[in-house]
Amino acid sequence: MTQTQKAHYEFDNLPLEPVDTGTSLLVTGPALGGTRRLMMQLLACQPNEGLLLLSTDLQGEEAIEQFEAGGCSYTTSRMAVIDCTENSADDDDRNVHAVSSPRDLTGMGIVFSSLYEDLYGAGIERVRTGMYTLGPLLMYAEEVQPLYRFLHTVTGRIRTADGLGVAALDPEAHDETTFRTLSQPFDAQVELRERDDGQRQLRARGLADQPDGWLDVDL
């Protein structure tokens, strides 16, 4: 593996330049405006990478279907899903791991750390972690601070392990103070919007060496 490959994560079919390892991105935009599709494209793994997906609004199998709908292949030997929904269920065949309750941020952190260790133990040193979406976790946490601490821990682990983190949050669904607090653990934002003619656009904020302004994107 070259030094360039080690130092960056690349995004095929998106108008974004590679980002440094250890980076965590917050995708912001309307819940029905394509944020899930954008996030899945950001999580699309290269052959030498692994995936951890924390799904808060879809059960494990449905989350895998959404990942594969974007043209990605879900491989159980290097990918896993943490089912954080209210009706979560384990699925050993698909490497899906259930958390007892959406309120159990501590349990999510334990499962996340364990699965990360498993991937590293299997020789997979580059892992993309996705969290879709933060809204349900905030609803069940009832207060913003426990979720902030959880995100701080997860993004810290990603930074230390040279991984990539991607989470989604609809800024219009929460007050400004809450949104600003939950944004703090992330290194940068990728904003998504839809023009009146239906064309979706994105822009990166807080990342070096990225194109300026809004850029057309097909999702």
Fold of the 20-52+107-206 domain? Rossmann fold (3.40.50)
* pLDDT of 6 above 60: no
Q: Are 2 and 202 in contact (CB under 8 A)?
A: no
Which whole number is the average pLDDT over 179-201? 97
Residue-level pLDDT at 128: 98
Whole-structure pTM value: 0.95
Tens of pLDDT, residues 86-127: 999 999 999 999 998 899 999 999 999 999 999 999 999 999
Helix pair 176-183, 144-160: axis angle to 10 deg: 20
